[in-house]
């Protein structure tokens, strides 16, 4: 499934904490997830409807990292979000 068809689930609430990190709560399962700065950038990108490529580009503008490596990181994080059923298909 392409990331362009994925967005944060309506059953998930995200909040910033501690200058870039964040917490997600799945209101269905009552489980909490702590996100590091990169995962929070990915989550916010998905909230804005960005593609994985666009999110990877955002990361390269904030961190000294090559685009291909940023894209691998974004894909891994999105996979994790999907594993925990935090995303929904549009």
Footprint of other proteins on this chain (CB under 8 A)? 13-15, 17-18, 21, 23, 25, 27, 30, 32, 34
Query: Residue 54 or 84: which CB sits closer to other proteins?
Result: 84
CB of 17 to other proteins, least distance (A): 5
Q: In the complex, what is the shortest distance from the CB of residue 39 to other proteins, in angstroms, rounded to a whole number?
A: 13
Tell me which DSSP letter residue 63 carries: S
Describe the strand order of the beta sheet including 31-35 as a list of residue ranges.
12-17, 21-26, 31-35
> Are residues 57 and 71 in contact, defined by beta-carbon separation less than 8 angstroms?
no
């Amino acid at each position: 499934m392409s990331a362009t068809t994925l967005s944060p689930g309506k059953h998930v609430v995200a909040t910033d904490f501690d200058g870039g990190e964040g917490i997600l709560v799945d209101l269905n399962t009552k489980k909490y997830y702590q996100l590091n700065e990169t995962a929070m950038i990915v989550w916010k990108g998905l909230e804005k409807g960005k593609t994985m490529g666009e999110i990877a580009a955002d990361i390269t503008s904030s961190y000294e990292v090559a685009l291909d490596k940023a894209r691998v990181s974004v894909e891994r994080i999105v996979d994790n979000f999907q594993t925990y059923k935090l995303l929904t298909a549009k």
